Amino acid sequence: MSVTTGPAAMSLGDGHAAALRRDRTIERWLMLSLAAPALLLVFVCLIVPVGWLFYLSFFTDGGVATLDNYRHLVEQPSYARIFWTTFKVSALTTAICAVLGYPLAYFMSQLPARAANLCMILVLLPFWTSLLVRTYAWLVLLQRTGLINTWGMQLGLWSEPLPLVNNMTGTLIGMVHIMLPFIVLPLYGSMRTIDRTLVQAAANLGASPVQSFVRVFLPLSLPGLTAGALVVFILCLGFYITPEVLGGGRVTMVSSRIATDIDTFLNWGSASALGAVLLLLTLILLWVASRLAKGLSLVGAGH
């Protein structure tokens, strides 16, 4: 018997098929319209301006169409340095966070629920504490007369105050402190879902503890690790506050340059070109992330 999915010729007309289709469409749009106010806000204040700025990057201040803004990015050596610094800081921060964050997440994932929740609070507390407060704390700790130097010298670990801030070191310390929760959270989430009986099975089959970790646990935790690492890397690319304060002007990242271009030089063309490159890089990385990371869907859509 053939199966029809469209309206068949019936004695009761089309059996309300057209009207039912209309009803369905209306309901769908009604539901989506609930998201309209939020969408309108984001559109008008963010998406349109971003598009606009991107468009702007192809014009000079005078309104002449040009690729000069982009050409400057390639030609001027200062920009090359900025890109290199940004990339270096981001890569180093991500690497350090991955190395430190993995054991931390692993430890938490093996704890019973209540203890894990307690540890989660310890991770979330810095996460939600203001960026500025944390950056300031490091500024105070790392300066020449700061806590670390004072104690270090008192304990005889070193004789001269170490330059821990206003340079790359201070910046990295601060960035790792900010970014660590961002890698621990998805990693922890992913590790939590790893079936413990799999590791047990490996042990039963004769694998040593190290082997069962490397062969079973590690590969299963890779999606969470990749997701977390990508999140951290992307965040580092666009980061502003911490490098500004802890870098003391010696660590110029793309974001600092954009801010200066606008604040000091009012050079929208250059700023928007730089911004466009940053955005493009971010979108490419996000696309990679969406391919690699196993569906960590945070925003539901239909069900």
Question: Which two structure tokens, joined as six digits, stand for 239?
Answer: 């980061």
41 or 292, CB closer to another protein?
Answer: 41
Q: Which amino acid is at 185?
A: L
Comparing CA positions, the residue from 75, 73, 86 lying closest to residue 269 is 73
Residue for token pair 């802890």: 246
22 or 71, CB closer to another protein?
Answer: 22
Q: How far is the CB of 107 from another protein (least distance, A)?
A: 5
168 or 277, CB closer to another protein?
Answer: 277
Q: How far is the CB of 98 from another protein (least distance, A)?
A: 13
79 or 138, CB closer to another protein?
Answer: 138
Q: How far is the CB of 157 from another protein (least distance, A)?
A: 16
Local structure of 2: helix, strand or coil: coil
Q: How far is the CB of 146 from another protein (least distance, A)?
A: 8
74 or 121, CB closer to another protein?
Answer: 121
If one counts every other C-beta atom within 10 angstroms of the C-beta of residue 40, the result is 10
Comparing CA positions, the residue from 90, 57, 96 lying closest to residue 73 is 57
DSSP assignment of 56-101 equals HTTB-TTS-B-SHHHHHHHH-HHHHHHHHHHHHHHHHHHHHHHHHH
Q: How far is the CB of 66 from another protein (least distance, A)?
A: 19
Phi-psi region of 16 (alpha: psi -120 to 50; beta: other; left: phi over 0): left
